[in-house]
Amino acid sequence: MRRTQANAQRTWAGSTGPARLLACVLLAGAVGACASGGPVSSPGTARSVASTCFDRETQPHTSVVDAHVHFRPFNGPAVPFAELVRYLEEAGVRFATVMGIGQVLPASSSCTYYLDCPGTPVVPSLRNDFVNAANVAAGPPGKVRLALSMTFPDFSRPGSVAAGIEVLDREFPGMFEWMGEVNLVKQAMYQNDVADVADSMPPLWAPFMATLRQRGIPLSIHADLGDNDEPLKHLPLVERVLDLYPENKIVWVHMGLSLQLTELDPARHVELLKRLLDQRPNLFLDISWRIVHDHYFAEAEKRAPYVALFNAYSDRILPGTDFLASRNKNFETYKEELAVTSSINQHLSDEAFRNIALGGNYARLLNLDYEAPEICPG
């Protein structure tokens, strides 16, 4: 991963000081406790267990990581950047992946959401990545550690991906450390002229996948597993990508679920996910989006196999809201989406909670100098 010094300071990545500050914030629940100057013990000492462990009974169960948040809408006005960062801070989020949006509506369109405008084509664009990068570059240092993500790629035009990375390298050197969410299959967009990526395309991604590998950049892929009629329809395409690029860190967003796939048997789904995780050590699952919660995690019986999976593979799971920052949203919307998507955290084992909700996995994935606090003995 490459990072400019300036960016490191702005986002306080990779230095002991900020990591300590973060521990203070997480553990004390207030910045003031750290600003007063008390040293933070390293985990493992008697004092650290007494004073710095995370108490699940009294402290919030909402994730301190949002690995999937869209700072830009499909079109129209966005929640201003600084305002959205404030939402994250106030909601207790300390790490966020700053995504644009995979496709945009034409600027001339009056629509802000693609589903409201069937027939209007949406296309991948660098527009939002530029806006996000400029905002991060100009922003003051804050409590939230932001990871800029490239959302422009069009998997059906592999040559344009390498070219786009070059443009971003030139304009914002060293600042992007994630790629995605990029769409492989998104059935909800069929009505907006978006087709599945053809089987012949993934082998042509080799040049840009090599760049991502060299830089240690994770790639978040949106790939619908299927729909209620054919639940595993797109699995071969997903596996083809995983087979071609086993050394890339690939994050499968929503575990392949969508509004078109609300009736998949959880036991069957979990069996499939286990197999993929066992076979591909660099595969991660993104469990973001309230739709996933509403249709799979809300009911105890459907939730149980997922909780068992997340406990067993707790170092491979990333949380997120999938919040989309169109201007009709506000802090209450963000807070609610964080609460809903974090609800499953209450059911996790201590180890899984630490890895997933308290940022252990996120920090390891991005090589950050941060260790999630130990959980206080129950």
Q: State the residues that interact with Zn ion by CB under 5 A.
A: 181, 322
Distance of closest approach, residue 182 Cβ to Zn ion, in angstroms: 10
Q: Are 72 and 128 in contact (CB under 8 A)?
A: yes
- In this structure, which amino acid lies at residue 160? S
Distance of closest approach, residue 375 Cβ to Zn ion, in angstroms: 29
Distance of closest approach, residue 90 Cβ to Zn ion, in angstroms: 22
Closest CA to 254 of 357, 150, 183, 149: 183
Of 245 and 323, CB closest to Zn ion: 323
Distance of closest approach, residue 47 Cβ to Zn ion, in angstroms: 41
Of 73 and 373, CB closest to Zn ion: 73
Q: At what angle do helices 206-215 and 158-171 cross, to 10 degrees?
A: 40
Of 177 and 181, CB closest to Zn ion: 181
Edge-to-edge strand list for the sheet holding 323-324: 317-318, 283-286, 250-253, 219-223, 176-185, 145-150, 95-99, 65-70, 323-324
Residue entry with tokens 């999976």: 309
Q: Are 192 and 232 in contact (CB under 8 A)?
A: no
Of 34 and 238, CB closest to Zn ion: 238
Q: Are 318 and 287 in contact (CB under 8 A)?
A: yes
Of 34 and 217, CB closest to Zn ion: 217
For residue 82, the tally of other CB atoms under 10 A from its CB is 12
Of 224 and 322, CB closest to Zn ion: 322
Instruction: Write the CA distances from 272 to 55, 199, 268, 303, 309, integer angstroms.
Output: 34, 21, 6, 16, 11
Distance of closest approach, residue 27 Cβ to Zn ion, in angstroms: 31
The DSSP code for 252 is: E
Of 181 and 224, CB closest to Zn ion: 181
Residue nearest to Zn ion (CB): 322
For residue 337, the tally of other CB atoms under 10 A from its CB is 23
Distance of closest approach, residue 58 Cβ to Zn ion, in angstroms: 32
Distance of closest approach, residue 217 Cβ to Zn ion, in angstroms: 18
Distance of closest approach, residue 181 Cβ to Zn ion, in angstroms: 5
Of 71 and 176, CB closest to Zn ion: 71
Instruction: Write the CA distances from 58 to 13, 29, 206, 343, integer angstroms.
Output: 28, 10, 48, 16
